[in-house]
Amino acid sequence: MLSTAIVHQRDLLNLVVSHYPQSIVATPIADERIGCGVLTPEFPISPLVLQELKAYIENSLNYCHLALCSLREINLNSFTSSPSDSSPSTLNTSMRSSSAVEGQFPPGWNTKFFDVTNHAKDHLSPRLNVVAPLNSLRSSLHKDPLPYHSITTKGNGCTPRNSGSPRFTDPFSQPPPGEGSSTQQQHPHEQNLNTRLLAVDSNPPWPRISSAANSEARKFGGQKAKPGVVLQKLNDGKRGIPDDGHRGWKKYGNKAIQNSNHCRGYYKCSLKECRAKKMVQLTDRDPTLFEVTYVGKHSCSSSTAHPRCRHRSTQMLSSSLVHVGSNGSSEGGQATSTVTKEDRAEDWKTQRAAASIGTNLVVDVSNPIIDNGWKGGKYSNEHNYSYSYFNMGMTTSTTASTASEEPKQCEVGEGDDDVDQDEEGDVCMDTYLHQSSRHHQAAYSLWHDFDTYPTLSTD
By the rule CB under 7 A, 451 interacts with DNA: no
373 HSE (CA, 13 A, CB side): 29
Distance between CA atoms of 296 and 319, rounded to whole angstroms? 21
By the rule CB under 7 A, 264 interacts with DNA: yes
Nearer to DNA, 27 or 445 (CB): 445
Distance between CA atoms of 54 and 274, rounded to whole angstroms? 62
Nearer to DNA, 404 or 452 (CB): 452
Distance between CA atoms of 347 and 369, rounded to whole angstroms? 10
Nearer to DNA, 91 or 257 (CB): 257
Of 86-115, binders to DNA (CB under 7 A) are none
Nearer to DNA, 13 or 263 (CB): 263
Distance between CA atoms of 32 and 74, rounded to whole angstroms? 38
By the rule CB under 7 A, 26 interacts with DNA: no
> Quick one: which of 260, 261, 274, 286 has its CA closest to 310?
274
By the rule CB under 7 A, 261 interacts with DNA: no
Nearer to DNA, 40 or 437 (CB): 437
**Which of 258, 381, 404, 452 forms a contact with DNA (CB under 7 A)?**
258
Q: Is 129 in a helix, a strand, or coil?
A: strand
**Which of 105, 252, 348, 453 forms a contact with DNA (CB under 7 A)?**
252
Nearer to DNA, 102 or 451 (CB): 451
**Which of 270, 314, 315, 351 forms a contact with DNA (CB under 7 A)?**
270
The Cβ of residue 353 has, within 10 Å, a number of other Cβ atoms equal to 12
By the rule CB under 7 A, 357 interacts with DNA: no
Is 337 in contact with 426 (CB distance < 8 Å)? Answer: yes
- The DSSP annotation for 5-61 comes to HS--HHHHHHHHHHH-GGG--S----GGGGTS----TTS---HHHHHHHHHHHHHHH
How many residues sit in the footprint of DNA (CB under 7 A)? 31
**Which of 10, 239, 341, 439 forms a contact with DNA (CB under 7 A)?**
439
Per CB under 7 A, the segment of 23-31, 53-61, 152-160, 253-261 that binds DNA is: 253-261
* φ/ψ of residue 140, rounded to 5: -65, -30
Q: How far is CA 18 from CA 11, 12, 22, 41, in A?
A: 10, 10, 10, 18
- In angstroms, what is the minimal distance from the CB of 176 to DNA? 35
**Which of 214, 329, 448, 457 forms a contact with DNA (CB under 7 A)?**
448
**Which of 152, 185, 254, 304 forms a contact with DNA (CB under 7 A)?**
254
Cis preceding-peptide flag for 166 (omega within 30 of 0): no
By the rule CB under 7 A, 255 interacts with DNA: yes
- In angstroms, what is the minimal distance from the CB of 449 to DNA? 7
Per CB under 7 A, the segment of 166-174, 371-379, 386-394, 437-445 that binds DNA is: 437-445
Distance between CA atoms of 138 and 145, rounded to whole angstroms? 13
Per CB under 7 A, the segment of 35-43, 54-62, 261-269, 329-337 that binds DNA is: 261-269
Site string for DNA, 282-301 (x = CB under 7 A): -------------x------
**Which of 154, 187, 224, 251 forms a contact with DNA (CB under 7 A)?**
251
Q: Is 141 in a helix, a strand, or coil?
A: helix
Distance between CA atoms of 197 and 38, rounded to whole angstroms? 38
By the rule CB under 7 A, 253 interacts with DNA: yes
**Which of 10, 425, 446, 452 forms a contact with DNA (CB under 7 A)?**
446
- In angstroms, what is the minimal distance from the CB of 414 to DNA? 14
By the rule CB under 7 A, 266 interacts with DNA: yes
- In angstroms, what is the minimal distance from the CB of 258 to DNA? 4
By the rule CB under 7 A, 438 interacts with DNA: yes
* φ/ψ of residue 434, rounded to 5: -95, 25
Strand partners, 268: 250, 277
Per CB under 7 A, the segment of 58-66, 124-132, 262-270, 352-360 that binds DNA is: 262-270
**Which of 189, 250, 306, 352 forms a contact with DNA (CB under 7 A)?**
250
By the rule CB under 7 A, 310 interacts with DNA: no
Q: How far is CA 56 from CA 5, 243, 328, 347, in A?
A: 9, 38, 55, 49
Distance between CA atoms of 437 and 433, rounded to whole angstroms? 8
- The DSSP 8-state label assigned to residue 83 in this structure reads G
> Sign of the CA dihedral 430, 436, 442, 448?
negative
Of 374-433, binders to DNA (CB under 7 A) are 433
Strand partners, 295: 277
Nearer to DNA, 143 or 438 (CB): 438
Q: Is 215 in a helix, a strand, or coil?
A: helix
| Interface residue list for DNA (CB under 7 A) | 240, 250-255, 257-259, 264-266, 268, 270, 277, 279, 295, 433, 435-436, 438-442, 445-449
